Amino acid sequence: MFSICAAAAGLAGALFAHYLRVAGPSSLEVALSFQVVIWGVFGGLATIYGPVAAVFLLYPLTEWLGSFRTFGELRLLIFASIVLLVLLFMPRGLAPWLRDKIEVQCPRCKQRNGAWRSVCRLCVAPLQTQVTRPERLVGHQ
């Protein structure tokens, strides 16, 4: 697995050097390294699809903000504030936060199931309490 990832990174580096027409220490800026860290933190460090989704969300936003003269290099400050907000309100990242919203954990086997399921797909235990009769609200009779 690591060799496949290393080969993909090497191919990406070769294509990037071909795109820039030069390969040197000046071609990789510190700002690009910070953006990669921001994508990873924003998407979720423990997932694979989270940082990929963060790239597709944040990179176009970065380029769009960079097109305005008023923002200029302040776009990195904007993204640093986004990272701080994500760390405060979604400490595990965006992807695990969304996953928690759309999945329910089985009380018996701890298997994660879609929120739309009424029984666990592994142990067939009920995931939600079934309301058998309409409950009356207090004060609304």
d(CA 139, CA 41): 46
- Shortest CA distance to 106 belongs to which of 87, 116, 121? 121
| Per-residue pLDDT, 11 | 93
Question: Can you give the pLDDT at residue 139?
Answer: 44
Place of tokens 């769009």: 64
Tokens for 98, please give them: 């969304």
Pick from 97, 85, 22, 31: nearest CA to 59: 31
**What is residue 30's DSSP assignment?**
H
- What pLDDT is attached to residue 7? 93
What is the sign, positive or negative, of the torsion defined by CA atoms of 27, 31, 37, 39? negative
Q: Which residue has the tokens 């496949």?
A: 4
Calpha distance 54→52 (Å, rounded): 5
In order along its 141 residues, the chain shows pLDDT tens digits of 889 989 998 998 888 888 888 777 776 777 777 788 888 888 888 888 888 888 898 888 878 877 877 777 777 787 778 778 888 888 888 888 888 888 888 888 888 888 788 888 888 888 874 444 444 444 444
Q: Global pTM?
A: 0.58
